[in-house]
Amino acid sequence: TLDSAKTSSPYSSDTCAIEPHATVSDTCASYATLDALNDEVRPILTSITQDTDFFSYYRLNLFNKICPFWQDETSLCGNIACAVNTIDSQEDLPPIWRIEELGKLEGPHAGHPGRRQQQERPKQKPLQGGLGEDVGESCVVEYDDECDERDYCVPEDEGAAAKGDYVSLVDNPERFTGYAGLGAHQVWDAIYRENCFVKPSSSPSSQLAPLQGLQVQAANNFRSVLHKELPQLDDECLEKRVFHRIISGMHASISTHLCWEYLNQTTDEWGPNVQCYKDRLHKHPERISNLYFNYALVARAVAKLQKHLQHYNFCSFDPDQDLETKNKVLALTEQLHNRPQIFDEAVMFQDEHSIELKEDFRNRFRNVSRLMDCVGCDKCRLWGKLQVNGYGTALKVLFEYDETKNGENPLLRRTELVALVNTLARISKSIAAVRRFREAVQAGNDQILVSDSKSEAVVEDEGVRYYRHSDSNLYPDNYEPEYEYPDNGRPWEQREKTETLAEEFWQEWRIFWNTLAWVLKSWMAVPGTVWDILVLEFNRLWHFWLGLPVPLRTWKIQFPEPREEL
Ligand SMILES: Cc1cc2nc3c(=O)[nH]c(=O)nc-3n(C[C@H](O)[C@H](O)[C@H](O)COP(=O)(O)OP(=O)(O)OC[C@H]3O[C@@H](n4cnc5c(N)ncnc54)[C@H](O)[C@@H]3O)c2cc1C
């Protein structure tokens, strides 16, 4: 099914997809142009998404929605299934716990205040410090969450009483989580198969357990979209192609992130995994092409907002933060705007069926958005939802906004703007990572060393020095590596540094605590284990007494190697 989507892609024969001076098809720019643009905007984009309260928190309904298309316990979370299978097998316990942990959300959450709370609480502190005392809550909370028929995504609060939680995007980086297998494949499969303007012979939902209540309604809407006759759609239709490229480009970006921030479970180290890149991207240049295509599309949408954002209110009750955030955003939109156009949306939806086609396109995109509730790993669902919303917002801006006007365009909701800019930052990071991976493959290296050591300043702009970082991009003086790493492994780029006393203390404390937990668990398992051994030995004795072949002994005494196992 995914293969059918793949083979129907007109790009599978695109062997020169990553030739630097080739034009990225369906855009107006070459790979080299987009790389150069990315080098230029990456520092400011990183600063916006990492350093401003407005863009580093996202509101979404992550836990209260059920997958509206199928009921299938195994697809809910591949990791939990793994953990259930292996909990008996003590040997595998620590790594599996780690995998399960990887998908969980980290950092503080804060619930969206209800109407009464909104009236009672001071406007500067609507979350009452829920995200930490130093977070500008007036930059984070969004009261206006209504949406209109022009949206390409299902609004976050649709059909649910709860208005969602605020989560930190900085504390929950998109990277390897171990979410894989049937559950993940089923979601990708549904996204490609059901949203590819291909008339399905049978929907996956029809093969799964029966649906109930609201699920039936959602599934019916979904099917009615799929079965709608659209005479003008054929395999070569530009709009269909664009749809496929957006999905495939998003998939490629997720794959890049998980390969770049990969956890080697044998060595417990995080770092780029060149083989992962080769398998998922390098052997499929059309996927890299789709990644660059998405960059052009989303960057064009952000550029188009230049006028619109001039009077945008980022932090209602904090003028200093508001000004700082606005300055950064306007610098970004200006950089993207003041250059030859990289994507021309005006060629789409131009024929006689355009209204019908646009409506269909939008509905299919909404289905992708709903499918995100079927993703069985919290962090993957967070970033999946955010990026689908980001692409949906980009499409809305491209096809519904007039860039020459200011007040007449509908105001973008906060969630839309945060999703749009963070999605651009994700693709930007992917493009930089793909370049590093490509260089490594061309040089025949199986490893990439990532270090944050700075070489000499390369550019100085308005008092800020930019350095050429080891990932070959330019970063401002105060740049810190984008990601934080889990407690159980120090970042690979910091391993050589000397540890402070506090760090050493906590490291030792963690080992002590894990040892204690491990010992207590082992003690609790003693009665069960002794019982199993007695039954097995009695069975062997019984076979021996009857003169039957004696079963092999399936247990042994093994001394643990605590440091490695913990
Ligand atoms: C919405 C979502 C978000 C996810 N987020 C994360 C995450 O943050 N971290 C994490 O570790 N895992 C994440 N996953 C899981 C991850 O995407 C993979 O599904 C998982 O790593 C298993 O990979 P795989 O090699 O089996 O192939 P998959 O990536 O699952 O791909 C399945 C099939 O799709 C086709 N395919 C693959 N890439 C493309 C492409 N770019 N274009 C077209 N076709 C393609 C291929 O035929 C492939 O066999 C996410 C999954 C989903 C659905």
Highest mean pLDDT out of 7-11, 134-138, 151-155, 495-499? 134-138
Top-confidence residue, 14 or 128: 128
pLDDT digits (tens, 9 = 90+) for 358-413: 787 788 888 888 899 899 889 999 999 999 999 999 988 998 888 887 767 888 88
Alpha helical stretches, state H, 235-353: 238-260, 274-277, 285-304, 319-337
Alpha helical stretches, state H, 1-104: 2-7, 31-51, 53-56, 73-76, 78-86, 93-102
- In this prediction, residue 369 carries a pLDDT of 85
362 labeled binding residue: no
Distance CA 398, CA 195 (A): 20
What does the buried/exposed string (b/e) look like for 12-29 if buried means 16 or more CB atoms within 10 Å of the residue's CB? eebeebbeeeeebbbbeb
pLDDT digits (tens, 9 = 90+) for 514-554: 888 888 988 898 898 899 889 989 988 998 898 887 777 76
**Ligand 1 pocket member 387 (CB < 6 A):** no
Please give the mean pLDDT across all residues of the chain: 75
**Ligand 1 pocket member 383 (CB < 6 A):** yes
- Res 484 pLDDT > 50: no
- In this prediction, residue 281 carries a pLDDT of 96
What does the buried/exposed string (b/e) look like for 39-77 if buried means 16 or more CB atoms within 10 Å of the residue's CB? bbbbbbbbbbbbebbbbbbbbbbbeebbbbbbbbeebbb
Please report which confidence band the pLDDT of residue 455 belongs to, taking 50, 70 and 90 as the band edges. Answer: very low
Q: Find the 508 Cα to ligand 1 centroid distance in Å.
A: 37
**Ligand 1 pocket member 180 (CB < 6 A):** yes
Q: Phi then psi for 122, rounded to 5 degrees? A: -65, 145
Surface-to-core class of residue 335, CB atoms within 10 Å of its CB (0-12 exposed, 13-18 middle, 19+ buried): middle
Write out the H or E segment, with its range, that includes residue 466.
strand 464-468
Torsion (CA) 407, 408, 414, 417 in degrees, nearest 10: -100
Distance CA 211, CA 217 (A): 9
pLDDT digits (tens, 9 = 90+) for 127-161: 888 888 888 888 988 875 544 455 565 655 444 44
**Ligand 1 pocket member 177 (CB < 6 A):** yes
Distance CA 396, CA 394 (A): 5
Q: Report the residue count for the chain.
A: 566
Distance CA 406, CA 333 (A): 14
* Residue nearest atom 29 in ligand 1 by C-alpha distance: 255
pLDDT digits (tens, 9 = 90+) for 382-394: 999 999 999 999 9
56 labeled binding residue: no
Q: Find the 46 Cα to ligand 1 centroid distance in Å.
A: 25
ipTM entry: 0.99
Q: Find the 280 Cα to ligand 1 centroid distance in Å.
A: 9
**Ligand 1 pocket member 287 (CB < 6 A):** yes
Residues known to be catalytic:
377, 380
* Residue nearest atom 49 in ligand 1 by C-alpha distance: 2
- Of the candidates 145, 147, 59, 153, the one whose C-alpha atom is nearest the C-alpha of residue 388 is 153
- Res 450 pLDDT > 80: no
* Average of per-residue pLDDT across 106-127: 79
CA 510 to chain centre: 29
- Res 247 pLDDT > 90: yes
**Ligand 1 pocket member 375 (CB < 6 A):** yes
* Residue nearest atom 45 in ligand 1 by C-alpha distance: 248
What is the longest distance spanned by two Cα atoms in the chain?
A: 93
Q: Find the 359 Cα to ligand 1 centroid distance in Å.
A: 28
Q: Find the 77 Cα to ligand 1 centroid distance in Å.
A: 14
* Residue nearest atom 11 in ligand 1 by C-alpha distance: 176
Neighbour count for residue 532 (Cβ, 10 Å): 13
- Res 40 pLDDT > 80: yes
Q: Which two tokens stand for residue 85?
A: 């299978």
284 labeled binding residue: no
pLDDT digits (tens, 9 = 90+) for 188-208: 998 887 555 543 333 333 333
- Of 104, 380, 383, the one to substitute when testing ligand 1's pocket (max ligand atoms within 8 A of C-beta) is 380
pLDDT digits (tens, 9 = 90+) for 43-58: 999 999 999 999 999 9
Top-confidence residue, 383 or 101: 383
Q: Find the 153 Cα to ligand 1 centroid distance in Å.
A: 21
**Ligand 1 pocket member 255 (CB < 6 A):** yes
Distance CA 449, CA 151 (A): 43
**Ligand 1 pocket member 384 (CB < 6 A):** yes
pTM attached to this predicted model = 0.72
Contacts 24+ apart (CB under 8 A), 354-361: 356/230, 356/232, 357/230, 357/232, 357/233, 357/239, 358/399, 360/197, 360/225, 360/228, 360/230, 360/233, 361/239, 361/243, 361/395
